[in-house]
Copies of this chain bind each other. A is one copy, B any other.
Amino acid sequence: MSTSETPAKQTIITIVGSGMMGSALVFPARENGHTVRLVGSPLDGEIIDACRKTGRHPKFVKDFPAGVEYYKIEELDKAMDGADLLICGISSFGVEWFAEYMLPRIPETLPVVSVTKGLIDDGTGQLISYPEYWARRAAPRKLRLNAIGGPCTSYELVAQDQTVVTFCGEDLETLRWMKGLMQRPYYHIAVSTDVMGVETAVALKNAYAYGVCITVGACERVYGIDSIPHYNSQAGAFGQSMLEMQKLMRLLGSSNDEALAVGIGDLYVTVFGGRNRLLGKLLGRGLPLDAALKELEGITLEGNVIVVRIVKALRAWAAQGKVDLAEYPLIAHLGEVLIDNKPANIPWEAFVAEKR
Interface residues of A (CB under 8 A from B): 150-153, 156-157, 159, 161-164, 166, 188-191, 215, 218-219, 229-236, 238-240, 242-243, 246, 257-258, 260-262, 264-266, 268-269, 272-273, 346, 348-349, 351-352, 354
Contact of B268 with A234 in the complex, beta carbons under 8 Å = yes
B234 touches A164 (CB 8 A): no
State how many angstroms separate the Cβ of A198 from the closest Cβ of chain B.
Answer: 12
Contact present for A164 and B265 (CB under 8 Å): no
- Beyond A163-B232, A242-B261, A243-B261, whether A188 also contacts B266 by CB under 8 A is no
Partner of A257 from the list B164, B243, B272 (CB cut-off 8 Å) is B243
Which residues does chain B contribute within 8 Å of A231, judged by CB atoms? 151, 153, 156, 268-269, 272-273
Residue of B nearest to A267 (CB): B235
Task: Give the most central of A238, A246, A262: most B CB within 10 Å.
Answer: A238
Q: Which residues of B contact A235 (CB under 8 A)?
A: 151, 164, 265-266, 268-269
**Which of B159, B242, B273 touches A264 (beta carbons < 8 Å)?**
B242
Q: Chain copies in the assembly?
A: 2
Contact, CB under 8 Å: B188 / A232: no
Instruction: Please measure, in the bound complex, the distance between the C-alpha atom of A230 and the C-alpha atom of B163, giving whole angstroms.
Output: 11
Q: How far is the CA of A233 from the CA of B163 in the complex (A)?
A: 5
Evaluate contact between B268 and A162: CB separation under 8 angstroms: no
Measured CB to CB, the closest approach of chain B to A180, in angstroms, equals 12
Question: Which residue of the partner chain B has the closest CB to A157?
Answer: B232
When A348-B164, A348-B188 are in contact, do A239 and B268 touch as well, CB less than 8 Å?
A: yes
Residues of B within 8 A of A230 (CB): 156, 159, 161
Q: How far is the CB of A78 from chain B (nearest CB, A)?
A: 34
Contact A264 B236 (CB under 8 A): no
Q: Of all chain B residues, which has the CB nearest A265?
A: B239
Look across to chain B and name the residue whose beta carbon is closest to the beta carbon of A219: B161
B residues near A265, Cβ cutoff 8 Å? 235-236, 238-240, 242
Query: Which B residues lie within 8 Å of A262 (CB)?
Result: 239
A211 to chain B, nearest CB (A): 12
Contact present for A240 and B219 (CB under 8 Å): no
